[in-house]
Chains A and B, each alone.
Chain A
């Protein structure tokens, strides 16, 4: 637990800034919904009929005149992409920053096994993502209450669960990369962006639909979740498999690694 507390202490500023920015943007989008509601009903058809562009963002399946349709596109992108960036940054810097900043030598010459370092750092990263998510969820709940919207709460919870799983998967992949090589935070952001674009490409082209199995944005596609009223289990199963594999590979690789 010592290392978890230490990691939380080191990461508290980053966590606070990312949570404030994403929760703030979410609240802003929700607060402007009453003003946008009428306009959205008018332009909803236009948004839904822009061919490939609408398909790319799943807008062809959504009703913009309803709160959930609006939430999926506006807030979904903020939490989906913003949360993915935060998760990627948390994961990519977790282990590699120790080597980049030459603190690994200090840490690993204490009586703590490499496996315990990996486990506690991963635990700290999960806690940070959970705290981020809980804070954004709380702000979203209060914001929705304050505008008197009547969302489908079960769907809202499912969307948040999907984004939480997405963040864990991206963080785990980046954590694994961080255990294997010393890379900067830019690599994490790049990976998150790559997965986001994989989903767009999969939405645009039928022949590339298989990318949905690779990208966690596949099972966190708000339009699909609202339409199916559930997460697409095959995509989620692959995501869980990738997450577990990433953790195991990180454990194996970091245990073997020479610390330069």
Chain B
């Protein structure tokens, strides 16, 4: 296995040089700019390394819709919780998902009311659990391409027990972000492309961001040097007035992406519209199982009841604006007061990829 010494990418000298280069380049800007990233793990790195302190005042880095758990709709959460309370089924999902509030409760709460709900680390973990279970097991599958690809390859390539089903809440990032840009719900002067998701989809899927909206784009890894490099690349593009796609994470991401993973996704799923939490329906962003795989599809195999009265955000919660990067967590009146990781009101305070959770953990008040 090829290993990379991550300390190289957190070398204080390199960080210092990049900071200076960013400062010099930023002096050529004719107005302050806003750069958005769309990956929760980027926000984690930015807070952990204190990257915002290294940037000149004219450059603001904001978090966009990059937390998969945060954009999973209450509609889906409610429907599966409902099923878990009524039928003798076991629900398997990621730890991040457990405490996300639905309209009336979270999976965690449902569990305390007697529902059989278990945390898993991966789809493979879920399948193994199903093998030894004596009842139907439904994997509540959420996440972007990064987790959708393993779900797809598991269904296609390994032996699945008869009692294993998938409820897909997987979402495809590029189409979602494109639609939000087009509708004017999000805006930015530059876009940091995701690290993990781009490893699957590649960079070429973002070409239309440049063509249609003239947005400079650069992919980034998760170390301090990676993030600063992407910022520098974007500012240079702005100054040169030549927006394009640049790869700042060559050790993992390439232009075409991972063909095997894309093939698995294509084989198992088709894209349809999906409800993004607080953002509404977005075309061609939801991964649904193809009819050949209907036997695994919990939406087809169980009596799933959707309510029209689902509530995405409780009163006072401003997660939908945080997700779009329109406000900072500290601008939400509930942040760190009524809403904490122990008692999250909105989804952004739950996951390690949520902007509010990252800010809270980083002690930002």
Decide whether A and B are members of one complex: no
